[in-house]
Structure 1
Amino acid sequence: MISRTRRTVAAVALSAGLLSGALAVAGPAAAAPGGCKTGDKSKRCATTSSVRTGATTLAVGNCPSGHHCVYYSDFSSWSHNYFDGDQNFGNDTFNTENSLSNTNGQGQIVDNNSWAAANSTSANRESHYYYSINPSTSSRLVFCVNPNRQVYLPEDDGIAGNGVGKRDEVSALIIRNRTSVVCF
């Protein structure tokens, strides 16, 4: 079941013409208004300065150079930044502040709890995100992100960790040299 907050976010974004289709890719985000509480992914606390639809990705925002980053909600929310892969997000928390006025996601567990990702590497290192911890070559890939790209993940069924859709589903990251897999 999709939470009331998430239904509100989707409804506001759709009615404002900000989201359509299966994928929304966002540019660098504006700071969220003050007063946002940890865990609040509402429209007011999960703002973006530009949202586009389709398979186009934009330049990386708040992800440090050479890192692969996941974001709690949008690119101004708290993130967790990886230099190398991590095969188990269960002990990771959103621990990097990306906006002084946005506490959205601070201290929350990363596992099955991310709405956006970025790859700020300039080399041929793709970020491959998986549904399960300790993924093998036969594990299901959720999505991947090409170097110098970021993606705001599309709305799905709203149930975290059930293996349906992409939002709130990633549990592991493997960094791979360029592959034939189509990435964002």
Structure 2
Amino acid sequence: MSSHKVVQAMYTDDDVLMDAVKTVKEAHYHIEEVFTPFPVHGLDKLMGLAPTRLAICAFLYGLVGLSVATVMMNFIMIEDWPQNIGGKPSFSYLENMPSFVPIMFELTVFFAAHLMVITFYMRSKLWPFKKAENPDVRTTDDHFLMEVSAGDNVDAVKALLEGTGAVEINVTEKH
């Protein structure tokens, strides 16, 4: 497995971090990752990250839930065990659909929510007992860390990051 040098710059303010990301992107260096203790609005666009497609997944998962609810209620209440409840005979699904709307809604939300959590964990590669990848524990409290791929230009990247207001700069090997 090959390794390469990464320069890690630590910041104490999110506005300084945003300016530093702009500076690094303008200098055409590749930002490996940015670790923040809270979401920084606009950082994803500034880094040039593609928009997420999780909303499309949520819609599709909701459709799966709606389909399961429809098939389940039709089978249970119409075909397998029809009952005359309160003088309302169960001859067809469409005649009884208004009473099925709450179940359809609940299963749509249930499927979308649960499958979205599973999709998020799989997409983020968050498996049970996975070792944390956070390079500095201070980024979970009040610091921001930007990792910039240095290649052979370690000194140039360090000089660039020193001018961006970084409070600490480290060079590490990343595998």
| Same-fold call, TM cutoff 0.5 | no
Pair member with larger Rg: 2
Q: Which has the higher strand share?
A: 1
Could you say which structure has the greater relative contact order, defined with CA pairs below 8 angstroms and 6 or more residues apart?
A: 2
Give the TM-score of the pair, scaled to structure 2: 0.24
Q: Which has the higher helix share?
A: 2
